[in-house]
Amino acid sequence: MEYIPVVTSGGEPREFLAIVNDIVKVVSSRGVRWFLWIDDIGVDVTDFVDRDKVLRLGESVLDLSKLFDESPWLFAKTVESVDEYVSVVKDLCKEVEGKKVAQALAGVRIVA
């Protein structure tokens, strides 16, 4: 499970989303919100999550702390162009020069 950054138009992280099954955790400077997807509707269930991160809906109980990491971790950089991305990767990979490297790439949006 990884936290997905939601960034401003300037590239600054605004909040982070973590998704496990049909539960979404949203972390921002305003705190943590929890959403449960039911069919195609996201329902805010934050008020049903106690301080121990246990979701209680009627007789159903789910310990969210067992599904989600405590806080976001992020290894990301927003870049303006493919050329800048290549430069960033080149700089990061100098210490592995001459070795084969696999690069995972997620959340790419190229605007032409």
Residue 65 reports pLDDT greater than 50 = yes
Domain count within the chain: 1
In a domain? residue 112: no
In a domain? residue 101: no
In a domain? residue 104: no
In a domain? residue 72: no
pLDDT reported for residue 42:
92
Please state the rounded mean pLDDT for residues 88-105: 72
Average pLDDT across the chain, whole number = 82
pLDDT reported for residue 110:
52
Domain that holds residue 49: 4-66
pLDDT in tens, 16-38: 888 998 999 999 888 999 999 99
pLDDT reported for residue 108:
56
In a domain? residue 13: yes
E strands within 1-112? 4-7, 13-20, 23-28, 31-38, 41-44, 54-57, 60-63
